[in-house]
Structure 1
């Protein structure tokens, strides 16, 4: 199974206030993330973390926490990810700045672009490739980005195909993510229900 999530911001106290996260403390947030993750993910699963695991990668507490998260973790680096500590690097199966890959929902194949950052024009967007991203959290910036994509679609821009442009924010704080790694199918269904 493949799962996706972004912007955990572990050990980042300001994230609770910044995102209006429903936690009274970092410990409560960490306990929820660990519980949700390990109840769902097995060690045979792949979890694509689209950046900002934490503010840094050198803290002993961070290394100990990430080591408890099940699954083969693939990190798509974000602006707050510091992977200079070799011990921290070893917790990830692979580390990228950007990744193109495929996933399946039922018997249907999907091409994906994984990036921490929202991309205005990504490779394959005109042929149905889906962008999964993070970084913008639950913000006006994210709403503006999604509005731009809608406008591009409405004005039949040259890179836009006749289907719907699909770019999904997989930030853990999004209501459809709920601090839990999600499958592509879950992400797509949740976002389509919102539309």
Structure 2
């Protein structure tokens, strides 16, 4: 099984305030994230973390916390990810800045582009390849980005889009993510409900 999530911002007290996260403390946030994660992920599953796992500078506590998260973790680095500690690096199957993979929903296979940052033009975007990203949280910036993609689909005569442009924000704070790693199917359903 493959799961996706971004912007956990572990050990980042201001994330609670700025994202209006429903937690009274970082400790409470950590407990919910750990429970949600380990209740559904097995050690054989892949979890693609699309950046900003934590705020820099909390190596000992961060290493101890991430070691408790089940699954084969792949980190797509974000602007807050400090991977300079070798012990922390060893907790991940892979660390990269960008990745292309395939996943399935039922019998349908999808190409995915994984990036911490939203991208305006990604490989095969008009031919069904889906962008999963984070970084923008639940913000005016993210709504503007999605609006731009919609306008590109509707008005751009330069490109031929065979299929709907799909870029899905997998920020943990979004209602359809709810601080839980999600399958591609759950993400696509959640995004459809939101729009």
Would the TM-score normalized by the shorter structure come out above 0.5? yes
RMSD: 1.0
Question: Counterpart of 1:15?
Answer: 15
The answer to whether the Cα contact below 8 Å between 2:2 and 2:45 also exists between their aligned partners in 1 is: yes
Q: Which deviations, in whole Å up to 9, do the C-alpha atoms of 1:152-187 show, x marking residues without a partner?
A: 111034335132110000000000000000000000
Query: Number of aligned pairs?
Result: 195
Structure 2 gap ranges (5+): none
CA distance in 2, matches of 1:65, 1:160: 46
The answer to whether the Cα contact below 8 Å between 1:3 and 1:48 also exists between their aligned partners in 2 is: yes
1:89–1:57 Cα change, 3 Å: farther
CA distance in 2, matches of 1:186, 1:3: 10
In structure 1, the residue corresponding to 2:143 is in which secondary structure? helix
Residue correspondence of structure 1 range 74-113 to structure 2 within 5 A: 74-113=74-113
Q: Which moved more, 1:171-180 or 1:185-194?
A: 185-194
CA distance in 1, matches of 2:21, 2:157: 37
CA distance in 2, matches of 1:24, 1:6: 21
Question: Counterpart of 1:118?
Answer: 118
CA distance in 2, matches of 1:104, 1:190: 16
1:63–1:57 Cα change, 3 Å: farther
Question: Counterpart of 1:139?
Answer: 139
Question: Counterpart of 2:151?
Answer: 151
CA distance in 1, matches of 2:128, 2:157: 14
TM-score (norm 2): 0.97
The answer to whether the Cα contact below 8 Å between 2:126 and 2:164 also exists between their aligned partners in 1 is: no
Structure 1 gap ranges (5+): none
TM-score (norm 1): 0.97
Aligned-pair CA distance for 1:58: 5.3
The answer to whether the Cα contact below 8 Å between 1:57 and 1:85 also exists between their aligned partners in 2 is: no
Question: Counterpart of 1:71?
Answer: 71
The answer to whether the Cα contact below 8 Å between 1:57 and 1:81 also exists between their aligned partners in 2 is: no
